Structure 1
Amino acid sequence: MSIGRSTRDTETDPFYDMLFNMLIAFVFCFVIALLAFNPLAKKAGDVPAKAEFMITVSWPDENPNDLDTWVMEPGGKVLWFRQRDVGMLHLDRDDRGDKNNSVVVNGKTITSAARQEIVTLRGLVAGEYVVNAHYYESRNQLPVDATVTVVKINPQAQIVFTGTQQIGAKGEERTLVRFSIDDSGQVLDVNTQPKPIVLRSGI
């Protein structure tokens, strides 16, 4: 007489199947909830820089000359191409005219016609900001028209000021705009009264 395994030993009980499936579902929901409460940290490059104001200084496309942006913050510190982070101010790039606006890729030279420098104000510091342009280097000895645009970013984009001034020759400086804000970022005053920054800094 052979002795075999019982039918109960070889078949799965539906009750245990149901308990096992419920356990899997519970673990799955727990993992999803854990990820929701603890999201993976983003890489630094994935987090956009926050700005309250953006200041753009530009001059005609393909102009060979080099203009520099100088900004004095309420505390009296000055941002320029050798000091790109001052307080809450940041200069993204020193545009040197036709000297640094091209790159060689696979033996082909790609050139950008744009002439532009951008300064961001990443926090609200009450007081006056003075934005000047300095004619740093001339390659054709001609005057250059410098255009400034100040945009308030938050809570929505709003143009505070835009204007153009001509800078006659190398070494000259022009105050493009002066604007004052309060602690909440409200613009209190905008004017273009001259205030030297470059000469004051002894450059």
Structure 2
Amino acid sequence: MRRRGRLARESEVDPFYDMLFNMLIAFVFCFIVALIAMNPKALKAGDIPSKAEFIVNVAWPDLDPNDIDTWVQDPAGNLVWFRAREAGLMHLDRDDRGLQGDVILVDGREVVNPLNQEVVTVRGVEPGEFTVNLQYYESRNGQPVEANVSVIKVNPRAEVVFYGAVPLARKGDEATAVRFSVLPDGSVANVNTLAKPLVTTPP
């Protein structure tokens, strides 16, 4: 009789432990889903660099058909541009060519991506001077283009190193957007816009 009572008592407790265990599993699942929702790109290998110290962003007006190219030189003289998308610690994420390649077919309808943007990431601290230049590579309407350039220092917190507009009048024009020096501790000094040509290969 006493044994039956003990078994009955243990069977009454079991559902409670089952419920606690199920709640724990649900909590862990929700936590993982929340992490994925907050940072989906970080889970895709190769999508973005695992670490970035500086981000250079170049944008020109939406739906502008003209092709503006970004050139960045590091202190060692490495150049990143559309024909050398990785050099030193730098990486060109995308070569945007105006409207070319921005039209895709979805269910038989043309969908246009209006954004014109190129992004270069610098994935480590390299002391010395960096130079960011723009080149008006190809004109499809003969019109001048004004591009906005920003340089963001990412670590240990986001900080705007430079933001400015760069006018380009015609095909073939090259302009220095910004030059800045990175110190050994990762801080930035000597931000200026003195001209320094980088384009060495004719379009």
Is 1:97 aligned to residue 98 of structure 2?
Answer: yes
Q: Give distance in 2, aligned partners of 1:141 and 1:175.
A: 21
Describe the SS at the equivalent of 2:99: helix
Q: Give distance in 2, aligned partners of 1:70 and 1:146.
A: 13
Is 1:127 aligned to residue 136 of structure 2?
Answer: no
Aligned letter for 1:77?
N
Q: Give distance in 2, aligned partners of 1:54 and 1:165.
A: 17
Match of 1:5 in 2: none
Match of 2:62 in 1: 61
Deviation digits for residues 17-65 of structure 1 (CA, Å, limit 9, x no counterpart):
9xxx9xxxxxx9xxxxxxxxxxxxxx96168632111100111111110
Describe the SS at the equivalent of 2:63: coil
Match of 1:45 in 2: 44
Is 1:195 aligned to residue 196 of structure 2?
Answer: yes
Match of 2:25 in 1: none
RMSD: 3.1
Q: How many residues align?
A: 181
What is the 5 A alignment of 1:98-177? Answer: 98-177=99-178
Deviation digits for residues 123-149 of structure 1 (CA, Å, limit 9, x no counterpart):
111111100001111001111112110
Match of 1:81 in 2: 82
Aligned letter for 2:101?
N
Aligned letter for 2:44?
G
Percent of matched pairs sharing the same residue? 46
Describe the SS at the equivalent of 1:195: coil
Q: Give distance in 1, aligned partners of 2:202 and 2:113.
A: 32
How far residue 120 of structure 1 moved from its aligned partner, in angstroms, is: 0.6
Unaligned runs of 5+ residues in structure 2 are 15-20, 22-41
Describe the SS at the equivalent of 2:91: strand
Q: Give distance in 2, aligned partners of 1:125 and 1:80.
A: 19
Describe the SS at the equivalent of 1:176: strand
Q: Give distance in 2, aligned partners of 1:122 and 1:181.
A: 13
How far residue 102 of structure 1 moved from its aligned partner, in angstroms, is: 2.1
Match of 1:37 in 2: none
Pair member with larger Rg = 1
Describe the SS at the equivalent of 1:76: coil
Q: Give distance in 1, aligned partners of 2:149 and 2:166.
A: 9
Match of 2:38 in 1: none
